[in-house]
Structure 1
């Protein structure tokens, strides 16, 4: 008996991944896929070693899969003149990747799939309404300049999906209200954190790694590290964070910025203008195992976003036992208890600085155990496993219906 086939569509190469939570979610869906499924990924290449337009056997996180890159994409941490999502959509047009199950992580590529047969799921990763209405850099997202065109495209495409899963409850409500005829297909899904990778160290190990980093950066031994990780993009508003660090003149803190993107030059300029060169280190894009180490040694993780769905980096920090200071965005207010950090009610440098000061001065109020406990319900193995169980149930029901039909046909 053949295995059901899941094909995942997204514009990335998991072996040379760019910065972003979507990439992590997809990697978790591949890593924790049951053996009963055949998994395929239609993505991009970043060099000539993987020929474009051809299926190739591959392995990711110990899981076998079939991979097809559509085109070569270099450094998608920066916006291109022609948006990558539209380039990826154009590359899909005219092809057929119909499968038993298909997962889309952007709306636009599903334009190519309108006539493909199979069970289709759309994953929503942001608060769509706030994303479209945000005042941060009108050019940050192309559709913000043409909102009516986006909503018309959305209304044309969403009805093809058997499921629409969002990690943001406001987006769930928005889709249910906007498309009442398919409201029962729209549901909330937890974002995922791989607790096999992101986990706390012992206090001795933390101290050892912190000492090594302070020595490497030639900082005082009592330095407290603040970690930011993410794309340097208007959505994440890293400039707000840098200005907050400037307001923390009463603490011996050092900000680690793990990430890259179009605002990198602006962030460097702001650091120089504010005289923070000895208090901020820009690490550039960081691979996952290095990011894990940074989470484990940091005193606090900080997020300064204008909007989010449910940011994975917050789950990763909590899973490593670290408190979080964040702006009020996405699902964070439903996720973060008072014992695990502070949610800033204002998006200002002073508000962020005050929250960081509170957490750093009173670390005893944010115990490791509470942080890990808050992340536990988002374990990738549990969340992804539940999705695959639903898919398998659908597959079994479909087979049962097909067998009944075949029996009826033979009888008649």
Structure 2
């Protein structure tokens, strides 16, 4: 149910693969073959707030059997289900706390929303079967807001999507570079994700400018689209930052090539859950330099997999990237790929099945 298309596609595809009974309540996922019952809440993807309102209107009329497991992506979506259907067992994913959205609202309005949401969280947490979240969000958000209640909640410390290790793998680099008109000796920095304020791609442009001026990095490829794209392009032009390539959305089939042509993936987000791009990059032998968000510090526990930058300083980030780029590429490929073996679709889905059966 709910948003996070990639997460829901992962669940649906793996349940179908195993012949498990499943139905989907939410928005049509066009890229997933539908061999399961589908109950539409709205016709196309929209804001989570609008989806929640429509779910509230529909929830009293949904039919569930006693003990049925309902896997939802946001605590807000669990609220109407548990309000009208006490007989179900809800597994809820909460990868991004409400506080991450504070900048989108006036201060006074956010205080009201936060107060109401505290009560929603409390209602849901009292009735959940399990909460899927990251250690970072768990300690920083849930334990600070609901310390007593969290002692009784079953927690699964992951919101990760499994990676197809056959699709995301190490490829021959030189032919790919030739295909995209890059030379073998150039150093390429890569960002993959939504172009939204929380991703801080404007910060990464400053980092790249410094690296480019020092001739440590030749190109910066930005894959993804979003509300920030035009502003970021204006910054690039105004600041005279050369060799920045806005590639927009790239299909899942072409993404492994993009990871393989780069030298480092960069992530400077204010908040994350279990970023899929980090796992995909490692599977392709690509190291990652990131802020300390979500479960990234636990993943990047080997210097050959990349680095976590605790500060938000441009020079610190630039220095971390330079150190990663200086490492021997063959060793980097090998260590990153080995680390990615922990994130296979099969392994992560089996963890969820054990959670369902607990």
Compute the TM-score of the two structures, normalised by the length of structure 2.
0.85
Give the unaligned 5+ runs of structure 2: none
**Contact kept? 1:133, 1:144, Cα under 8 Å:** no
Shift of 1:293: 2.1
Give yes or no for the alignment of 1:65 onto 2:36: yes
| 1:241 paired residue among 200, 204, 227 | 204
Among candidates 13, 28, 32, match of residue 10 of structure 2: 28
When residues 363 and 272 of structure 1 are mapped into structure 2, their CA distance, relative to the original with a 3 A threshold, is farther
Closer/same/farther in 2, CA of residues 381 and 84 from structure 1, 3 Å limit: farther
Query: Relative to structure 1, is the Cα distance of residues 83 and 263 closer, same or farther in structure 2, using a 3 angstrom cutoff?
Result: farther
| Cα distance between partner residues in 1 of 2:56 and 2:247 | 34
Q: Which runs of 5+ in 1 are unaligned?
A: 1-8, 12-21, 51-58, 395-412
Choose from 89, 95, 120 the match for 2:61. Answer: 95
Greater Rg by CA: 1
Q: C-alpha distance in 1, partners of 2:206/2:102?
A: 19
* Structure 1 range deviating more: 348-357 or 102-111: 348-357
Distance of aligned partners of 1:157 and 1:134 in 2 relative to their CA distance in 1, 3 Å threshold: closer
Q: Please show how residues 10-409 of structure 1 align to structure 2 within 5 Å.
A: 10-11=2-3, 22-33=4-15, 35-45=18-28, 60=32, 64-73=35-44, 83-99=49-65, 100-113=68-81, 114-116=83-85, 117-126=87-96, 128=97, 132=99, 146-171=113-138, 174-175=141-142, 178=146, 180-181=148-149, 183-190=151-158, 191-202=160-171, 205-214=172-181, 222-248=185-211, 249=213, 250-276=215-241, 278-337=242-301, 338-364=303-329, 367-391=332-356, 393=357
Higher helix share: 2
TM-score, scaled relative to structure 1: 0.75
Question: Do 1:341 and 1:366's aligned partners in 2 also have CA atoms closer than 8 Å?
Answer: no
Over the residues paired in the alignment, what is the CA RMSD in angstroms? 2.9
Work out the number of aligned pairs and report it.
347
Deviation at 1:287, TM superposition (A): 2.2
* 1:194 Cα deviation from its structure 2 partner: 1.5
Contact residue 138 and residue 145 of structure 1 kept, 8 A? no
1:341/1:138 Cα in 2 relative to 1: closer, same or farther (>3 Å)? farther
Compared CA separation, residues 133 and 122, structure 1 to 2 (3 A): closer
Q: In structure 2, what is the Cα distance between the partners aligned to 1:335 and 1:144?
A: 34
Contact 1:88-1:109 within 8 A present in 2 as well: no
Question: The residue matched to 1:65 in structure 2 has which SS?
Answer: coil
d(CA) in 1 for partners of 2:284, 2:175: 16
**Secondary structure of 2:293 counterpart:** coil
